[in-house]
Structures are given as C-alpha cells and as structure tokens.
C-alpha cells in the first residue's frame, strides 16, 4: 500500500512538473516575443525592431517574472522524486539549500509579483492618467522591491536548511530538511498569503465597481468593447486560482504551528 501511494505521488509530481514546464515555456516565449515586438502579423518585418510601448510592457514584465519563479519551483522536483524513491537525499548540502531557496522564492516572490500585477491592472482601468506607474522603469523598480522583500524570507530558510541525519525506528535517514521558528512561519503566512490575498480581492473589487459604473451609467460605456462579464470572470479566476493553490498549504501550516508543534518553537 505504501509503495502504491509513493508511486502515485511520484507520478503526480512528474505530471505537474511537466505541465508546469511546458506552460511556463509557452508563457515566457509569448511574453518575450511581445516585449521585443515580435508579433506575427502582416507588418511583422516593419515592426520586429520596434520594442513594445512602455505602458504595455509593465504587465508583460510581471507575467514574465511569475513564469520565471514558477520555473524555479520546478527545479527541485527531480531531487524530491529521488528522495521519495530512495528514502534518502543523495546530494550535496548546497543542493539542499538550493531546493529550499527555490521553494522560498515561490512562496514569497510569487504573491508579491501577483499583487503588483493586480495593481497594474487597477491603474490601467481606474487611474489611466497615472501613466508613469505603468512605465517599464517603474515596473523594474517594483520588481526590485519585490525581490528585496522576498529575500527576507528566502535567506533565513536557505541559511537554516541542510542535509541532516534523522533517526527513526532504529534506522537513520539522510534528509534535506529545515526547521524554522514559529514566528517566522506565522510572518510568512501573514505577509505572503493573507495580506496579498486581501489586497488582491480589494483591488479587483475596485476594478469591477469602476467597470460597472462605466458600463451602466455612461452612454459611451454601453458601446465600449470592454465586456463586463468577461472581466468579472477573469478577475474572479485570478483570485480563486491564488486562493485555491495556496490555501491548503497554509491551512496545514497553521494546523502544525498551533496544534502539533510544542509552544516556544
């Protein structure tokens, strides 16, 4: 039974990694082609050397960074599968630290960039006069800020992770492990999950209110090409995707911190 469960887990890991790899390569290729102006159109040869306009590239930069972070989260999968198969981490200590660094980047950098992307959409719809906030230079500044904030969570995990020997049932297991204090985990949950989730929900609610007023209270709005129902669906899907992907993990972490881990850890 244990072997069957292990096999199923390995297959799921492999399928998710393969799907994520293909999907992220497609997204990165599409976004990069837009950033450099490589749009396949009849006027391709006259436009291929023209970079995309600054106010259009901010969202592309955020999407590109999200794909890069997702690709980083795929890197540890072969090591995880090897660990599950052999019941042993057969690699160097620095590889163990790399695994947790990639995992930490996915946990902290992704929600920050997703929040920045949501704000970019808000500015595009609700504050179109704030063009400077959607320029490439400003987007790079926001990305650097996101990196700095995420380093506050990546570095402690990287420094404390390592290959350890764990005794269990008169046997010893070599594992890649990390033991973080409860305060750190709770800060991670609050800053990298709860706050971004609430903020993203508020941002999309504001966007939907703006579009509703524009569509129903304006004569021009009724003739606009913006489809309110489509925007509603896209906005809800963004929030739901973020919520569904991360809620099980963080609920489990909350359960571990408050009901399993001893006080003071």
Condensed to tens digits (0 to 9), the pLDDT of residues 54-72 reads: 555 788 888 889 889 989 9
Is the pLDDT score of 40 beyond 60?
Answer: no
Compute the average pLDDT of residues 251-257: 86
- Shortest CA distance to 147 belongs to which of 197, 103, 193, 112? 112
pLDDT at residue number 45? 47
Tell me what percent of the residues of the chain surpass a pLDDT of 90. Answer: 26
pLDDT in tens, 88-130: 888 889 999 999 999 999 999 999 998 998 898 888 888 888 8
Q: What is the pTM of this model?
A: 0.82
Compute the average pLDDT of residues 138-161: 94
**Alpha carbons 150 and 196: distance in angstroms, whole number:** 13
Compute the average pLDDT of residues 244-249: 86
- The vertex-114 CA angle with 109 and 119, nearest 5°, equals 130
Is the pLDDT score of 52 beyond 50?
Answer: no
CA distances from 159 to 15, 93, 104 (A): 31, 11, 12
- Please give the CATH topology (third level) of the domain spanning 2-179: Rhopdopsin 7-helix transmembrane proteins (1.20.1070)
**Alpha carbons 89 and 93: distance in angstroms, whole number:** 10
> Which residues 6+ apart lie within 8 Å of 43 measured at CB?
none
Q: What is the secondary structure of 84-141 as a DSSP string?
A: HHHTS--S-HHHHHHHHHHHHHHHHHHHHHHHHHHHHHHHHHH-TT-GGGGSHHHHHH
**Alpha carbons 146 and 110: distance in angstroms, whole number:** 9
- List residues bridging with 177 in a β-sheet: 162
CB burial class (10 A; 0-12, 13-18, 19+) of residue 53? exposed
* Angle, in degrees to the nearest 10, between helices 93-126 and 195-216: 20
Residue with the bigger pLDDT between 222 and 86: it is: 86
């Amino acid at each position: 039974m244990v072997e069957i469960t292990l096999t199923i887990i390995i297959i799921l890991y492999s399928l998710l990694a393969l799907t994520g790899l293909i999907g992220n390569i497609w997204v990165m290729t599409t976004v990069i082609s837009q950033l450099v102006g490589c749009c396949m159109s009849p006027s391709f040869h006259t436009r291929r050397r023209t970079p995309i306009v600054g106010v259009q590239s901010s969202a592309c930069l955020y999407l590109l960074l999200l794909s890069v972070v997702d690709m980083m989260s795929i890197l540890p999968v072969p090591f995880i599968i090897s660990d599950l198969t052999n019941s042993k981490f057969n690699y160097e200590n620095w590889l163990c630290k790399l695994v947790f660094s990639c995992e930490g980047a996915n946990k902290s950098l992704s929600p920050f960039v997703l929040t920045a992307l949501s704000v970019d959409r808000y500015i595009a719809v609700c504050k179109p006069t704030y063009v400077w906030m959607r320029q490439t230079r400003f987007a790079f500044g926001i990305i650097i800020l996101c990196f700095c904030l995420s380093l506050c969570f990546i570095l402690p995990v990287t420094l404390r992770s390592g290959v350890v020997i764990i005794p269990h049932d008169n046997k010893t297991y070599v594992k890649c492990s990390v033991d973080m204090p409860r305060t750190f985990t709770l800060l991670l949950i609050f800053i990298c999950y709860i706050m971004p989730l609430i903020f993203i929900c508020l941002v999309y609610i504001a966007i939907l209110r703006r579009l509703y007023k524009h569509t129903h209270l304006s004569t021009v709005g009724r003739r606009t090409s913006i489809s309110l129902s489509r925007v509603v669906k896209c906005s809800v899907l963004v929030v739901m995707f973020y919520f569904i992907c991360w809620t099980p993990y963080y609920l489990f972490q909350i359960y571990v911190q408050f009901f399993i881990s001893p006080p003071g850890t």
